[in-house]
Amino acid sequence: MTGKLFGTDGVRGRANTWPMTAEMALKLGAAAGRFFRRDGSAGHRVVIGKDTRLSGYMLENALTAGLTCTGMNVLLLGPVPTPAVGYLTRSMRADLGVMISASHNPAEDNGIKFFGPDGFKLSDDAEAEIAALVEAAMAPVDPREIGRAKRIEDGRGRYVEYAKTTFPRRGRLDGLKVVIDCANGAAYKAAPEVLWELGAEVIAVGVAPNGHNINDRCGSTHTQTAAETVVAHGADVGICLDGDADRVILLDEHGREADGDQIMALFAARWADEGRLKGGTLVATVMSNLGLERFLTARGLRLERTAVGDRHVVEAMRRGGWNLGGEQSGHIVMTDYATTGDGLIAGLQFLAEMQRSGRRASELAHSFTTVPQMLRNVRYAAGANPLAAATVQAAIAGAEARLVGHGRLLIRRSGTEPLIRVMAECEDASLLADVVGGIVAEVEQAAR
């Protein structure tokens, strides 16, 4: 093995390049099968979902071979959102759930995420054990014990029906015109179906996947197309999902964005008023805007910050017994409804509040004034470590000194791509641009 296998969200990389090769998927499947058949018993099952990337076929087949050769029975769901895999792993009494997706990444990338029988992503310890088994020799079972593979035709339908149950009982979306952008990804059928069945007038974009166009100028990372569609059609709201539909960015009737921080602010305030916000606490990451923290504090609520990654958010929520959390990027985790971020269900909760309150999206989607925040990404070559350069360290130290009493600085490596993320917040926009630009310039120089 040439590097660390599991990142912050499973295994991810460029398709047909380590670790996203058919060979590695075969080994991962065999290792996961051994891990979940430690007791030696038969009848274990695993559900596998995927998004719409062309490489998903290759990885799905390789995983299936690895799992069945160790005696696991495989249930193939086809294209479904990541949260559907978490839900169906539990509801179908499976031992393991697997999602083949690189989320918001380009179509050339792919990834493999594992879910335990409780529907939550596997712990770091469990992933480490599976990684160790990948390094060990494969242990195929006796020919009579080879697992079976079966395609489940109604997996999407089961998730659609469940998603509708999270909307208020007997509630409907009649009279609402909703633009839904599915990023040509995993929710391209499920999301429009749910909205239409609840009574909305649905205008769907990003629903023509061809294996290569997932997240391509659409979805939560590129909302311009959906925003233009909202305005052109006079829609009431836009819902933009990412490639595996575990993220959401909302658009008001003017096409203006509301990110995860604004969505969480609305939900936290509303749930607190209803006595539903457990512990009076919202869990978010170090990336969430200072304006969100000020908004919560003014209402007597608490913000618990974690490292970046929805898995860290969920782990903190479970430890603290809290039921609402997420990320600025659009992961909204509501453990009353789902075990992971669910963009569609978060969108439904926003629509429910529109219907309950009779207020427009623009009145609900912008709860607080953001502190100016700048995020720049610098790509680096595999194996490089630009943050270790003395010039970069000096630039970071200088920026921190300049921001004392004015804002904050966060420098980190992406857990899913070879990127250095440079983020700062500051009320002084010119100071903000200066410190971020200075650090980025040094990182770019060190990354050459």
d(CA 110, CA 92) in angstroms, rounded, equals: 25
* Active-site residue (options: 55, 101, 103, 367): 103
Q: Which one-letter DSSP state was computed for residue 256? A: -
Q: Which amino acid does the sequence have at 129?
A: E
110 SS3 class: strand
**Is 45:75 a contact under the CB 8 Å cutoff?**
yes
Residue 55 annotated in active site: no
The structure tokens 């029988």 sit at 117
> Which residues, at least 6 apart from 74, have a Cβ–Cβ distance to it below 8 Å?
45, 46, 47, 48, 63, 64, 67, 68, 147, 148, 149, 150
Q: Which amino acid does the sequence have at 121?
A: K
429 SS3 class: helix
Query: Would you list the DSSP string of 314-354?
Result: HHHHHHHT--EEE-TTSBEEETTT-SS--HHHHHHHHHHHH
Q: CA-CA-CA-CA torsion for 395, 397, 401, 407, nearest 10 degrees?
A: 80
* Residues with a known catalytic role: 103
